[in-house]
């Protein structure tokens, strides 16, 4: 039995890498066009943050960040997760 693209009936999803794309100042007015070009290069765009010129999305695991060479892209970085303790936690 062959696995179907995009996961199987048990809910398996192929691994992905969360990324943040910084758009250069010259292309911020065309942020939606840059996002569309990134989609054509395989990025699953999740958010377009026009106020700060960022695009957040997911790239299939194993794909190099450098593959997102699109006009208007200043940088591509792997997204990081930051966890803060609850407000009532003791200071460490």
State pLDDT tens for residues 4-28: 344 455 666 668 899 999 999 999 9
Between 38 and 82, the more confident residue is 38
**pLDDT value of residue 41:** 92
Closest by CA to 64, choosing from 90, 43, 49, is 43
Q: How far is CA 61 from CA 9, 39, 48, 73, in A?
A: 21, 15, 21, 20
Does the residue 14 lie in any domain?
Answer: no
The whole domain housing 30 covers 23-78
Does the residue 51 lie in any domain?
Answer: yes
**pLDDT value of residue 53:** 96
Domain count for the chain: 1
Does the residue 40 lie in any domain?
Answer: yes
Does the residue 60 lie in any domain?
Answer: yes
CA–CA separation, 31 and 42 (whole Å)? 17
Does the residue 18 lie in any domain?
Answer: no
pTM of the model: 0.73
- Of the listed ranges 20-24, 52-56, 77-81, 88-92, the one predicted with least confidence: 88-92
């Amino acid at each position: 039995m062959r696995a179907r693209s995009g996961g199987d009936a048990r809910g398996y999803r192929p691994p992905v890498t969360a990324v943040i794309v910084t758009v250069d100042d010259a292309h911020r007015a065309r942020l939606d066009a840059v996002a569309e070009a990134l989609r054509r290069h395989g990025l699953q765009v999740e958010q377009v943050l026009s106020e700060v010129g960022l695009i957040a999305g997911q790239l299939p695991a194993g794909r190099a960040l450098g593959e997102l060479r699109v006009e208007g892209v200043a940088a591509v970085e792997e997204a990081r997760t930051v966890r803060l303790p609850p407000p009532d936690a003791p200071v460490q």
